[in-house]
Structure 1
Amino acid sequence: MERIRKAYIYLVAIGSVQKRLLLASAKNIKEVFGFEVRISDVPVYYQKAYNPSRGQFLASLILERIKGVELPKALKVVGITDVDIYEGELNFVFGLAELGGCCALVSTYRLWHKDERMFFERVFKEINHELGHTFGLLHCPTPGCVMNFSNSVLEVDRKSKDFCERCRTKLLDIYPL
């Protein structure tokens, strides 16, 4: 009988991220993707990604730092940060991921809401979206699909935290859960 190697999705806090949010995010990932989740306490040094002229952090530099973190049996690694991030000429991004790769980054900075339930739901949607990219999924035109592109927090609120049928099928073809 072949031994099944267990792999994990890791969450890494970058900056001041609440433990409650990390634990709730781990539960969300387990429910949506079916993988066990571990929360890492390995520090990710991200200060060099700061751009003083913008007052923001360059997401791709933080993502490179995440890629450098070695975690046992890591299938995917998601960094969650509370700092404002941008990429290229964009004013901001909610997250960034390696398409078909192992690492993703999500910023809570522009997702905040005074209602904790709403705030957590927004973060879950962006984590699921960026993890979808790491599994090779592209943006989806289906309204409500978590892989639908979000250019504003209102667009994040309009979508589900789940994949549409087409994206779920692609995900299962890429990596059977």
Structure 2
Amino acid sequence: MKSHRLIGMILEIFYEDENVIDPIEKRIKEIYGLDVDRGGFMRVIRSAYNSSRDQYEASYLLSFLIRRKKREIALWIVKEDLYCEGMNFVFGLASYRKGAILSTFRLFTTELVEKEAVHEVGHVLGLKHCKNRCMMHFSNSLLEAMEKPCELCESCKMLIDGIGID
């Protein structure tokens, strides 16, 4: 049984490629019990582009998403390469109880896209990076993202089920 705090919460998903939505929606419902509302197609904004890096600034895009969303929480799935200050790249970036952005640029399989989408939504719901063998484990490389499991560990499941998430 999912946390009473998640009951009635709807995740609004925006995307650049509608083909990735069905498997992500299924996994979000399966792992977190959240309903999903498709916010629709949304292209990245050029003002977030850094030409010297040939990447988009993730926090800028996340701020744009948070201003644009209609639901309590949102996820924006983009095709472009993202970075945050001090990092070569990021798969995604999240803001607690607001939203997350996910880049499919380096994620070459549906399984990786699903895994990282669930990871970012976990952050939105209050999960931190986990040291266990867990989907919430921090990935500093594509290899690390590939090696982590497709499931939450028991500790993170307990947190989502209402023990300890504020």
Residues 10-58 of structure 1 show CA distances to partners (whole Å, capped at 9, x for unaligned) of 1101xx42x2211221111111111111111263552110000000000
TM-score, structure 1 length as denominator? 0.83
Helix, strand or coil at the partner of 1:126: helix
Tell me the distance in 1 between the aligned counterparts of 2:80 and 2:147. 23
Contact 1:51 1:58 in 2 (8 A): yes
Helix, strand or coil at the partner of 1:101: coil
Instruction: Report the count of equivalent residues.
Output: 159
1:12 aligns with 2:4: no
Tell me the distance in 1 between the aligned counterparts of 2:43 and 2:98. 16
Helix, strand or coil at the partner of 1:41: strand
1:149 aligns with 2:138: yes
Q: How far apart are residue 148 of structure 1 and its match?
A: 0.3
What percentage of aligned pairs have identical amino acids? Answer: 34
**Which structure 2 residue ranges, 5 or more long, are not aligned?**
1-6
Q: For residue 21 of structure 2, what is the aligned residue in structure 1? A: 22
Tell me the distance in 1 between the aligned counterparts of 2:64 and 2:124. 16
Residues 54-100 of structure 1 show CA distances to partners (whole Å, capped at 9, x for unaligned) of 000000000001001132xx2320000000000011000000001x2
The runs of at least 4 aligned residues of structure 1 exceeding 4 Å deviation read none
Tell me the distance in 1 between the aligned counterparts of 2:56 and 2:146. 24
Tell me the distance in 1 between the aligned counterparts of 2:89 and 2:27. 25
Helix, strand or coil at the partner of 1:9: strand
